[in-house]
Amino acid sequence: MAKPFFAATATGYDVPALLGEWIDSDPYPRVILDMNHYIIWQNAASRAFVESGDGIEQRGDIFAFVDKACDQGLTQMMLSSVVSGNSGTVSDLDRSTRYALVVQRLSSPDKALVCGISYRRVDQMRYADLKSIFILTKAEDKILRQLLQGMVADHIAEENATSLDMVRSHIRSIYSKLGVSSREALFNRVSLYRIP
């Protein structure tokens, strides 16, 4: 006999209803999509984000970025997602707006692709004091925040008027202090310290 999906530790509670209310009231926008970006479900924060007209729209039942480059980035992240998740950023063509995405495959490998996605505009994301938490230098803290905004090493070097080698050295130090070995792992590690 299969184990029940909702295994409550206390009796007398409607666990599926409580979970539904909890995830719907989550301050982070969350949406469940199929491969064609058909909206299977979205929480209140996602509905509000879509209604705000802030770069994401709903075309019928389709979840879409206003800029098609972001749509293509989302599709690629969905295709490469695994059960443990995939996170990163997508940008519009002029790179003026970036979205941070965490994509997790919800369907089993033998079924059609369905993913759970949480997202935010990078410029609207706030974090706890990462400098103190990870004992970063002032320069490392600045570069970490630039990485979290979706910037790459050469853009960081240009913006900070420093050498690419110096930026790469800081990035290696950041990875070491955070105990990660990839950009995806960096996003996952720091996501614990995001402030809604």
**Which ranges of the chain have pLDDT less than 50?**
1-2
| Within-domain flag for 7 | no
pLDDT of residue 54: 79
| Within-domain flag for 43 | yes
Beta 98-105 vs 114-121: how paired, if at all? antiparallel
- Calculate what percentage of the chain has a pLDDT beyond 70: 86
Range of the domain at 46: 15-124
* Element spanning 42, H or E: strand 39-42
- Domain ends where: 65, 90, 124? 124
| Within-domain flag for 167 | yes
pLDDT of residue 58: 93
56 and 150 fall within a common domain: no
pTM of the model: 0.63
pLDDT of residue 196: 62
Asked whether 191 and 87 are in contact (CB, 8 A), the reply is yes
d(CA 184, CA 177): 15
pLDDT of residue 42: 96
Strand-pair partners of 103: 86, 117
Angle of CA points 44, 47, 53, to nearest 5°: 145
Angstrom CA distances, 115 to 20, 46, 78, 178, stand at 17, 15, 7, 27
